[in-house]
């Protein structure tokens, strides 16, 4: 039976128990960790996308996406506290629902990390190009800084930053905690400055009509804006280092998501109330899809004089309300902070591939380590090339939606896994228990399904096609080479030198 191939939880945890971490994090530290991990990318690069889908109603979209993230995070935390090892949702699924589901979750996580890295690269390009044009007066042809969907030919800056980050990952450069803390301060300071300058000059008339495309538009914008919250799992995975996790984990998760949602609402209000955010419509009154050629043509016709046309929405808004230098500063903040996000997403991607390779589900060459740099250079380079190609030819909105489809699938799988494990292994130690699991987990699953179906039809078809390719790869290659299927389980997440443990093959 396919679903019977379980990687024993005890085998996964065997070495994790050896590396007991000091419990030092309280509710405040967890909340700040979450704020630092979440705030940034999405609000910088997806505001224009949300405005085109929902108009001023995008403010409600932030609340919906934040709520779904909160309930999914509570489920995620229980699994993270029980299985504090590498591999994320892939490892959790392997331990609970079996190899095939774990493979599909890992396959979906490729969309979450690699495509998201491409989306952030495009967002970085928009801000840096805007900064060069407005601060230094350098005129760069759109053909070289926009992909084919956006009225250009190739996005060279986005491609370049993706390849640069790939090189840094190959030689083993990881940002330090201090550098990361500085970048978080830069991001938060830039958004705070935006709020302080934009809110006093708001015009409430700009909020009408609030939902020009109805609640369907608000839901579609929420599905895209979900990208702005990804990163909260950094809090979930800190369960092993948390004092009194049953009390502090929910405070840290809900607290950080609440703070981020308030931040996002204030930024969105600043955009809507100052420059307006009504979507551009086609000649027949139809809503134009973000990232489409039709929208790019409409924007070109009006000289990009609408926030929905901007590739650097927050900087553009500042310039429009009379703060050009502040707009340049926000562009500089994005230019400095976003590459670290690309780096962490690509690192997460290579780590998932690395673990899947060492489980036998992907070729062993993927887990090959460079003799000098001690990094998984083969899979890092392969990932980097694909991220660079995504960034070069696709607009940020399409990439963010594709990334969200993989993330929503993984979060729904983890929420199901928590429910299943409560039934099948009720006595196992749980440092954190999801409150009201009978309500929280189903709401998380339904919320993920709702947001998935609010994604565009092209995104859903692309996800289905990706899943079909994944199933073909699994049955043609991975299933016959799986270490679990062959009867060996390698305990490698925490100790690479641990010997394989023989177990009876389960089929």
Residue 266 pLDDT exceeds 70: yes
At residue 385, φ and ψ (nearest 5 deg) are -65, -45
Residue 11, pLDDT above cutoff 80:
no
**Structural element, H or E, at residue 490:** strand 488-490
Stated as kind and residue range, the H or E segment containing 174 is none
Average pLDDT over the chain, rounded to whole?
Answer: 84
pLDDT of residue 87: 58
Q: Provide, rounded to the nearest whole percent, the portion of the chain with pLDDT above 70.
A: 88
Say if 249 falls within a structural domain: yes
Contact 161, 339 (CB under 8 A): yes
CA 200-57-208 angle, to 5 degrees, is 65
Query: DSSP H helical segments within 323-395, as ranges?
Result: 324-358, 377-393
- At 406-418, the pLDDT tens digits run 999 988 988 998 9
Listed in sequence order, the DSSP H helices in 136-176 are 156-170
How many residues are recorded in the chain?
A: 507
Gap between the Cα atoms of 471 and 89, Å rounded: 18
Question: 276 is in which domain, residue-wise?
Answer: 27-483
Structural domains in the chain (count): 1
Range 213-247 burial, b when 16+ CB lie within 10 A, else e:
beeebbbbbbbbbbbbbbbbbebbbbbbbbeebee
* Residues 320, 152, 289: CA angle, nearest 5 degrees: 70
Would residue 137 count as lying in a domain?
A: yes
Residues 206-216, mean pLDDT to the nearest whole number: 92
* Pair 68, 226: CB distance under 8 Å: yes
pLDDT classification of 268: cutoffs 50, 70, 90: very high
Per the CB < 8 A criterion, the answer to whether 239 and 81 are in contact is yes
More confident residue, 175 or 35: 35
Q: What is the CATH number of the domain that holds 106?
A: 1.20.1740.10
In a domain, 505, yes or no: no
DSSP at 475: I
Q: Hey, which residues does 490 pair with through a beta bridge?
A: 500
Phi, psi of 454 (to 5 degrees): -90, -5
**Whole-prediction pTM value?**
0.86
pLDDT at 498 exceeding the cut of 50: no
Mean pLDDT of 106-128: 90
pLDDT single digits (tens) 312-370: 999 999 999 999 999 999 999 999 988 888 888 888 788 788 888 888 888 888 878 88
The DSSP output letter for 46 is S
Q: Are 363 and 223 in contact (CB under 8 A)?
A: no
Tell me the average pLDDT across 154-179.
Answer: 84
493 occurs within a structural domain = no
For residue 364, CA distances in Å to 33, 80, 249, 375, 479 come to 35, 27, 37, 14, 14
Q: Helix 324-358 crosses helix 88-96 at what angle (to 10 degrees)? A: 40
d(CA 86, CA 268): 35
Q: Does residue 437 lie in a domain region?
A: yes
- Residue 463: inside a domain, yes or no? yes
Q: How many angstroms separate the CA atoms of 404 and 227, rounded?
A: 6
Gap between the Cα atoms of 314 and 304, Å rounded: 14
The verdict on residue 490 lying in a domain is: no
């Amino acid at each position: 039976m396919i679903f019977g191939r379980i990687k024993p939880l005890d085998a996964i945890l065997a070495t994790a128990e050896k590396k007991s971490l000091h419990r030092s994090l309280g509710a405040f530290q967890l909340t700040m960790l979450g704020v630092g991990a979440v705030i940034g990318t999405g609000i910088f690069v997806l505001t224009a996308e949300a405005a085109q889908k929902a108009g001023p109603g995008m403010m409600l979209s932030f609340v919906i996406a934040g709520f779904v993230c909160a309930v999914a995070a509570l489920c995620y935390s229980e699994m993270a506290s029980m299985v504090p090892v590498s591999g994320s949702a892939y490892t959790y699924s392997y331990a609970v629902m079996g190899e095939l589901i774990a493979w599909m979750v890992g396959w979906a996580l490729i969309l979450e990390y690699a495509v998201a890295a491409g989306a952030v690269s495009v967002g970085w390009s928009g801000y840096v190009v805007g900064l060069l044009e407005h601060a230094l007066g350098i005129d760069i042809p759109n053909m070289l800084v926009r992909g084919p969907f956006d009225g250009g030919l190739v996005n060279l800056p986005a491609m370049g930053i993706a390849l640069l980050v790939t090189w840094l990952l190959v030689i083993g450069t990881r940002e330090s905690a201090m550098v990361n803390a500085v970048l978080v301060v830069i991001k938060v300071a830039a958004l705070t400055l935006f709020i302080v300058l934009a809110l006093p000059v708001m015009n409430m008339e700009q909020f009408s009509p609030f939902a020009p495309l109805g609640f369907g538009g608000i839901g579609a914008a929420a599905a895209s804006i979900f990208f702005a919250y990804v990163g909260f799992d950094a809090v979930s995975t800190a369960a092993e280092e948390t004092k009194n996790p049953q009390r502090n984990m929910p405070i840290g998760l809900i607290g950080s998501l609440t703070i981020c949602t308030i931040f996002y609402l204030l930024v969105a209000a600043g955009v809507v109330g100052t420059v307006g955010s009504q979507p551009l419509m086609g000649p027949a009154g139809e809503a134009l899809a973000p990232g489409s050629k039709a929208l790019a043509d409409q924007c070109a016709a009006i000289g990009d004089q609408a926030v929905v046309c901007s590739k650097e929405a927050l900087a553009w808004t500042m310039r429009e309300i009379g703060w050009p230098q502040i707009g340049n500063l926000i562009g500089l903040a994005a230019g400095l902070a976003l590459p670290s996000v690309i780096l962490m997403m690509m690192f997460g991607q290579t780590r998932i591939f690395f673990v899947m390779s060492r489980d036998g589900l992907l070729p062993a060459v993927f887990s090959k380590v460079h003799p000098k740099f001690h990094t998984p250079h083969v899979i890092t380079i392969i990932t980097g090339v694909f991220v660079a190609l995504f960034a070069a030819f696709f607009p940020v909105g399409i990439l963010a939606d594709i990334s969200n489809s993989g993330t929503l699938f993984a979060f729904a799988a983890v929420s199901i896994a928590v429910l299943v494990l409560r039934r099948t292994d009720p006595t196992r130690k749980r440092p954190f228990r999801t409150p009201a699991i009978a309500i929280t987990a189903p709401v998380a699953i339904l919320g993920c399904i709702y947001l998935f179906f609010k994604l565009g039809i092209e995104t859903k078809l692309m996800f289905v096609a990706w899943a079909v390719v994944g199933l073909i790869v699994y049955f043609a290659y991975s299933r016959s080479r799986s270490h679990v299927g062959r009867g060996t389980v390698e305990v490698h997440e925490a100790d690479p030198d641990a010997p394989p443990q023989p177990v009876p093959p389960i089929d």
